[in-house]
Amino acid sequence: MSAAPSLSRIRQSGDPIFWNGAMALAFLLACLVRLGIPTTPYFDEVHYLPAARAVLELFQATNVEHPPLAKQIMAAGIALFGDEPFGWRIFSVVAGTLALFASMRAMWFASCSRAASVLTGLFVGTNFVLFIHARIAMLDVFMVAFLMLAAWMFAGALRENETARWRLAIAGVALGCAMASKWNAIPLAMLPGLAFLAARWTAGRRRLVMSARGAPVRGMTLWEAGVWLGLVPLLVYAASYWPFLYWSVPGGDPSGLVDLHRHMLALQTQVPEAHPYQSQWWDWVINRRAIWYLYEPVDGAMRGVMLIGNPLTMWFGLIAMAWCAWTAWVSRAEAPRWDCIALVVIYLASLGLWIVAPKAVQFYFHYFLAGMAVSAALALGVERLWQRGERLVPALLMLGALGFFLYWFPILTAAPLDDPQDFLKWAWTEGWR
């Protein structure tokens, strides 16, 4: 797209918010299937649930290596619905549903395409990674939900300048919440502010900081944008540490955030023992290494939960991401495709973190954010094929993504299995076993 279309043009083209809402509701209902199974904590729930209970007790901090907000949200679920599976996981369902809805809305404002918005819902909702984390009490889904909310608000602010102030305020709060859920969000949380700075810089305003004219938001100065996208996130992040005023913290000083963060960083960069499911970033890109969050007799049957990306989405999404990169490059001079540019930047930033991060043991779920970008890129790619008059390939990709999701559904939702060797129906390669 070149210049941003007017608000009236966007409305005339037909906002797909009804379909966005319907797809989010379908996703939520699917997440509720067997949400209470297993009835005991599984995979990393064994770390995060004690940390959530510690929020309610306000006595001894646990799981200090991660920021506290996501664990506070889990604690709210326990307080509201009881210390049982539904209470542990219900806010993960809410966060996952928000992440899906917000990703569709962000695509709508970024591309002004109904098809791309709806296709984003299809490919993101069936990419396996979001669905699994929307059904387990882990930190990642909260981080992703807040980042998607920030992306929606930021894209909306750029498209509808008259709403920019309240949208950027919400974006700033969401960015702070994302960082306060998990540090993986930090590279992505920096992007909106840097994008605003770059756009205003290239606009060539004489008073860079104080001018309220020019891209990307008319009527807003750079310093005000810095408040919403820089100061507000930091304040929200700092405020999330309120429980440390009450907790006894092993190895840290709860009265000082700086000392506490030194302790957290030391915990993050320590070298633990090797893990059988650990992997490297190149394994994630080619969808090579799965994680079995669960595979054992539990609740009266053999059950499993397998984390891997939807093979169709993750593999063909890489081709679509390459197309986005090429389109972003060739369109840069006359009519920049900001939707493609944004997805490429998000993908590289989220994946690049793990290429340079001093974390000895890494896992496929660290590809969560990059997988969201790949899924959205496939939506843009399929839309482009349809615009060119192609019908067979787009149909196969759409039906294939949904078909793989339905085929994998039993092993995504801990359905009872008939035989201990049933995992071979889904573990097609050695790296998936």
Indicate the domain borders of the chain: 7-252+278-432
Question: Which band of pLDDT confidence, cut at 50, 70 and 90, is reported for residue 252?
Answer: low
Average pLDDT on 174-180 reads: 98
> Model confidence over 63-109: pLDDT tens digits?
989 999 999 999 999 999 999 999 999 999 999 999 999 999 999 99
Q: Is the pLDDT of residue 8 over 50?
A: no
Question: Tokens at residue 78, please?
Answer: 């326990």
In the block, which residue shows the tokens 């005339």? 12
Residue 198: closest CA among 222, 169, 224, 234: 222
Query: For the whole model, what pTM was predicted?
Result: 0.94
Residue 118 CA to residue 2 CA, distance in Å, equals 22
> Model confidence over 200-243: pLDDT tens digits?
888 766 678 888 787 899 889 999 999 999 999 999 999 999 99
Contact (Cβ atoms closer than 8 angstroms) between residue 93 and residue 134: yes
Residue 350 CA to residue 338 CA, distance in Å, equals 18
> Model confidence over 356-383: pLDDT tens digits?
987 778 999 999 999 999 999 999 999 9
Question: Which band of pLDDT confidence, cut at 50, 70 and 90, is reported for residue 176?
Answer: very high
pLDDT of residue 254: 52
pLDDT of residue 267: 85
Average pLDDT on 268-280 reads: 83
DSSP code, position 306: E
pLDDT of residue 2: 37
Task: Considering only CA atoms, give the Rg of the chain.
Answer: 22
Alpha helices in 288-388 (DSSP H): 311-330, 338-356, 368-387
pLDDT of residue 93: 98
pLDDT of residue 6: 47
Q: Is the pLDDT of residue 251 over 60?
A: no
Average pLDDT on 337-362 reads: 92
Contact (Cβ atoms closer than 8 angstroms) between residue 351 and residue 370: yes
pLDDT of residue 3: 43
Average pLDDT on 160-186 reads: 97
For Cα atoms 291, 294, 300, give the angle at the middle one, nearest 5 degrees.
160
Provide the 10 A C-beta neighbour count for residue 208: 15
